[in-house]
Structure 1
């Protein structure tokens, strides 16, 4: 079915079985509000983390993958966008003239740099739905935010859920990191070098919010929204 003005992002998420829709997180209610102006523009969109059930859940990264619910959703929602997907598992089997896959281990910042260097031009929208490990989220932001275009949007999902398989003891979580900026206009982190790197981005950030799903502050499904100046 072609996209129509009455078909919103939550409808598409539910159709393709994405947990971003009303089935679980309801992130698409926020995303439709933020991203509808981009819908029929020729933008470059990057999603990290393409299918639930990877190493963050103790499943081998070389697992067999057979679906891409959110990518199918984005391709229909954004009628002219070039969609890029990044994951530690292999999704190269999925073919579409507006989709490109990049395999990458988020543990390695050099790997992230290599992967995003394969994307021509800058990025308009970035969505991090990968492992949710704090250092992975922070590695990605440090490498990818500079490649976000002026006026672009960077989204980080599930701020209050970190996988035991990856999370490093004692690290400042990404939720705490962005909360420190929202409260004090300065990033605080257990690693001074990481704090310094994030603080260097402040002049380029025009807005930063942490959105609690269903407006319940203690829910684990929270989203950071960062707008680039």
Structure 2
């Protein structure tokens, strides 16, 4: 991902360490990940939803980092957080594990460029929020779930290789990125709308992009003939040796093999 240069030179780490405003709690390893994905939105019209308001400090940090064109939404279960609203910052009070509430929330705000889940960090909260809100991220947007180390903490419902943690849940989604290539899986809305999943220490990032069935294309002419030939079921000759990968692709796509004259 190419990082862009913007007029606002304040990086997130600088804003965090120089913070004299409301309380912010962050792991220092997160800042390079934030910058990698969020820098492209600086000083541009951007819409953000942060799950987990805490004391409101991170909402102020995002506002300073992204600039005056940013519209920021916060979601928290603590009613006191409503008092932290300010210009271009609107806060909703509700549970991130309440599917009915999240469906309602989507009727109240436009599709967003970024969702950052920094909420309660339990397995149910992270999974439900992702399942209900991933479709409310724009086609070229980012869904980021942080503090995923709780997937390894029993007190949050986690545990190493424990079924149902957000880390294990996300690992399985890797297969659906590649569902085009196996008959064991069905291509679904996730396959068709997410281009990548990236794992960092305690963070999982999903990049949205409309996806179509990939095509394998050859251009140019062969430089040499490889191996003996054999007729396939269609009566066409194909390269028996040295091109197993190509033949597998063609078989999967149900295309005739390249003939050798």
TM-score, length basis structure 2: 0.65
1:45-64 equivalences in 2 (<5 Å) = 45-51=48-54
What is the root-mean-square deviation in Å for CA atoms of aligned residues? 2.7
User: Quick one: distance in 1 between partners of 2:42 and 2:118?
Assistant: 20
Query: Which one has the largest radius of gyration?
Result: 2
Q: What are structure 1's unaligned runs of at least 5 residues?
A: 52-66, 188-195, 213-221
TM-score, length basis structure 1: 0.74
Q: What are structure 2's unaligned runs of at least 5 residues?
A: 1-5, 179-184, 210-261
**Residues 19, 25 of structure 1: 8 Å contact kept:** no
**Residues 142, 197 of structure 1: 8 Å contact kept:** no
- Once the two structures are superposed, what CA deviation does each residue of 1:130-183 show, in whole Å capped at 9, x if it has no partner? 01111111111111111111100000001121576663997511101112333x
- Once the two structures are superposed, what CA deviation does each residue of 1:43-84 show, in whole Å capped at 9, x if it has no partner? 110000111xxxxxxxxxxxxxxx311011011111111000
Query: What is the match of residue 19 of structure 1?
Result: 25
**Residues 8, 42 of structure 2: 8 Å contact kept:** no
Q: Which has the higher contact order (CA 8 A, sep 6+)?
A: 1
User: Quick one: distance in 1 between partners of 2:186 and 2:47?
Assistant: 25
Query: What is the match of residue 206 of structure 2?
Result: 226
Query: What is the match of residue 202 of structure 1?
Result: 191
**Residues 133, 167 of structure 1: 8 Å contact kept:** yes
**Residues 134, 171 of structure 1: 8 Å contact kept:** no
**Residues 177, 190 of structure 2: 8 Å contact kept:** no
**Alpha-carbon offset, residue 6 of structure 1:** 3.1
User: Quick one: distance in 2 between partners of 1:76 and 1:5?
Assistant: 9
User: Quick one: distance in 2 between partners of 1:47 and 1:197?
Assistant: 31
